[in-house]
């Protein structure tokens, strides 16, 4: 699957994103086979209680984030997030800023993960943990932090079947360490589960791993919620031999092998509190590529399909991508397409989603980032994408009742609209001004303008 390779444009498996700070001098090694009995020192766990399966619209921490940097900049981001209600924040247990969590059997290094979870707590966010990736000794490598292989081939390798239970034990250790984390995603994009010989996903292997992890997590607490399969919902050109004959549209066609993998997991899973998928709006290869706004219709179609298969189980998009790596868009264009993608997710029935924040360590520009790099005291300032995401999360939280809004037909298909009882979001998808009546008022919109209206 070419899109999941190391050199994939616009995707997250870049070498810089996987060098997870392996300096042993900073490691916090915990030698308890069952893991520590509670959270890390200096933290307090929220009391357990009823937990909702949907967490709303948030973002994922990647290799560089605001847990490190100049104190003034990191404090600025913490304050920004807290003032905006603390959006949900996802962090992986290995890679993307986290070190090898169990360098050798029964010996743990949670220093980097502790720091990330502490940041989420301090910023008032709902913490979410992605249970990926696996320590080297679980997949044929050597034990010990000094031997951790951060290369693509290593990080994209799934645990050996003989170590599935060890990975499930690690997942349970993580859950016990962070008792205020209630939402867990099992693995990431089926990494390491592609069967080259059979030319399909090894969905049997993933489901075996998922079921062991699910049961191990449930034993740690009745309010721990678990979701999967975190499957990449790849689409292809309609003429592709792997194209689904049924799930298709102007945006392309779903890869039937993906649908087969989802159906197997759905039929054989031990249980799930919510469903997790991810994917890009643009097809994997094929020509011509649909225009960027039409392409977002895939998010609606796939979301609706998943909800039908799972009998309306709450749906999360762990990652969603609307911008090909070669797009070169302006920031208003980028924000307009992202807003249209979020509208498409809601229309399909999704209730939670995480923006993959492409944060940089340093530099004067950061296209698509949520805030400026935090390496300098004047960093950590909100960027346009943060404005969109924070406003969307506040306006359309889980449980929102969406309303139809009258739109002047003369505006044509160039406007995308989403409304609740209190808020209307209007997006001009054209590269030219638009004039239209929306919800009884006359609007003049700039090219690619995103407009918020109070009702």
Residue 66: per-residue pLDDT: 97
The two structure tokens encoding residue 315: 């749906």
Residue 411: per-residue pLDDT: 65
Residue 19: per-residue pLDDT: 39
Average pLDDT of 262-270?
98
Residue 286: per-residue pLDDT: 64
Confidence of residue 326 (pLDDT cuts 50, 70, 90): confident
pLDDT-wise least confident of 8-22, 45-59, 209-223, 433-447: 8-22
Confidence of residue 166 (pLDDT cuts 50, 70, 90): very high
Task: Indicate the average pLDDT of the chain.
Answer: 89
pLDDT(378) > 50? yes
pLDDT(45) > 80? no
Residue 151: per-residue pLDDT: 93
The structure tokens 């070169």 sit at 328
Confidence of residue 1 (pLDDT cuts 50, 70, 90): very low
Residue 325: per-residue pLDDT: 83
More confident residue, 20 or 447: 447
More confident residue, 331 or 25: 331
Asked whether the whole model's pTM tops 0.85, one would answer yes
DSSP lists the bridge partners of residue 331 as none
What is the distance between the terminal CA atoms of the chain, rounded to a whole angstrom? 46
Residue 410: per-residue pLDDT: 74
Distance of CA 192 to the CA centre of its chain: 18
pLDDT(41) > 80? no
pLDDT(28) > 50? no
Average pLDDT of 269-274?
98
pLDDT-wise least confident of 275-289, 339-353, 393-407, 419-433: 275-289
Residue 48: per-residue pLDDT: 45
pLDDT(27) > 70? no
pLDDT(24) > 90? no
pLDDT-wise least confident of 91-105, 196-210, 327-341, 399-413: 399-413
Residue 289: per-residue pLDDT: 81
pLDDT(4) > 50? no
pLDDT(2) > 80? no
Average pLDDT of 286-299?
89
DSSP lists the bridge partners of residue 59 as 89, 355
CA 132 to CA 140: how far, in whole Å?
16
pLDDT(268) > 70? yes
Q: What is the 3-state secondary structure (H, E, C) of the chain?
A: CHHHCCCCCCCCCCHHHHCCCCCHHHCCEECCCCCCCCCCCCCCCCCCCCCCCCCCEEEECCCCCCCCCCHHHHHHHHHHHHHCCCCCEEEECCECCECCCCCECCEEECHHHHHHHHHHHHCCCCEEEEECCCCHHHHCCCCCHHHCCCCHHHHCCCCCHHHHHHHHHHHHHHHHHCCCCCEEEECCCCCCCEECCCCEECHHHHHHHHHHHHHHHHCCCCCCEEEEEEEECCEECCCCCCEEEEEEECCEEEEHHHHHHHHHHHHHCCCCCEEEEEEECCCCCCCCCCCHHHHCHHHHHHHHHHHHHCCCCCEEEEEEECCCCCCCCCHHHHHHHHHHHHHHHHHHCCCEEEEECCCCCCCCCCCCCCECCCCCCCCCCECHHHHHHHHHHHHCCCCCCCCCCCECHHHHHHEEEEECCCEEEEEECCCCCEEEEECCEEEEECCCCEEEEEC
């Amino acid at each position: 699957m070419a899109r999941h390779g190391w050199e994939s444009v616009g995707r997250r498996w870049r070498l810089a994103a996987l060098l997870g700070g392996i300096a042993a001098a900073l490691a916090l090694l915990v030698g308890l086979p069952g893991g520590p009995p509670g959270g890390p020192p200096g933290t307090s766990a929220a009391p357990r209680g009823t937990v909702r399966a949907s967490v709303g619209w948030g973002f994922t921490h990647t290799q560089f984030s605001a847990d490190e940097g100049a104190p003034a900049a990191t404090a600025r981001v913490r304050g920004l997030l807290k003032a905006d209600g603390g959006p949900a924040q996802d962090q992986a247990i290995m890679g993307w800023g986290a070190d090898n969590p169990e360098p050798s059997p029964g010996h743990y290094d949670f220093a980097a993960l502790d720091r990330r979870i502490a940041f989420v707590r301090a910023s008032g966010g709902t913490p979410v943990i992605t249970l990926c990736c696996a320590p080297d000794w679980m997949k044929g490598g050597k034990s010990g932090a000094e031997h951790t292989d951060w290369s693509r081939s290593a990080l994209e390798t799934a645990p050996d079947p003989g170590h599935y239970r060890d990975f499930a034990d690690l997942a349970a250790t993580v859950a016990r360490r962070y008792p205020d984390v209630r939402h867990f995603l099992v693995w990431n994009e089926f990494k390491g589960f592609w069967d080259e010989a059979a030319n399909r996903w090894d969905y049997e292997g993933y489901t075996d791993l998922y079921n062991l992890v699910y049961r191990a997590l449930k034993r740690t607490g009745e309010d721990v919620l678990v979701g999967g399969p975190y499957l990449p919902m790849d689409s292809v050109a309609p003429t592709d031999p792997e194209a689904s004959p049924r799930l298709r549209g102007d945006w392309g066609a779903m890869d039937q092998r993906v649908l087969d993998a989802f159906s197997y997991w759905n039929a054989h899973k031990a249980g799930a509190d919510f469903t997790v998928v991810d994917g890009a709006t643009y097809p994997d290869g094929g020509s011509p590529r649909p225009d960027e706004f039409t392409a977002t219709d895939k998010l609606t179609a796939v979301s609706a399909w998943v909800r039908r298969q799972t009998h309306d189980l709450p749906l999360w998009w762990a990652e969603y991508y609307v911008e090909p790596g070669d797009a070169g868009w302006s920031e208003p264009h980028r924000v307009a397409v992202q807003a249209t993608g979020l509208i498409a997710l809601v229309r399909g029935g999704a209730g939670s989603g995480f923006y993959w924040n492409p944060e940089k360590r340093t530099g004067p520009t950061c296209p698509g980032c949520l805030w400026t790099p935090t390496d300098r005291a004047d960093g950590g300032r909100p960027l346009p994408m943060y404005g969109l995401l924070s406003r969307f999360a506040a306006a359309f939280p889980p449980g929102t009742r969406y309303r139809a809004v009258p739109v002047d037909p003369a505006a044509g298909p160039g406007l995308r609209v989403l409304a609740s009882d209190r808020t209307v979001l209007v997006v001009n998808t054209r590269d030219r001004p638009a004039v239209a009546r929306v919800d009884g008022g006359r609007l003049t919109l700039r090219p690619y303008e995103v407009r918020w209206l109070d009702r």
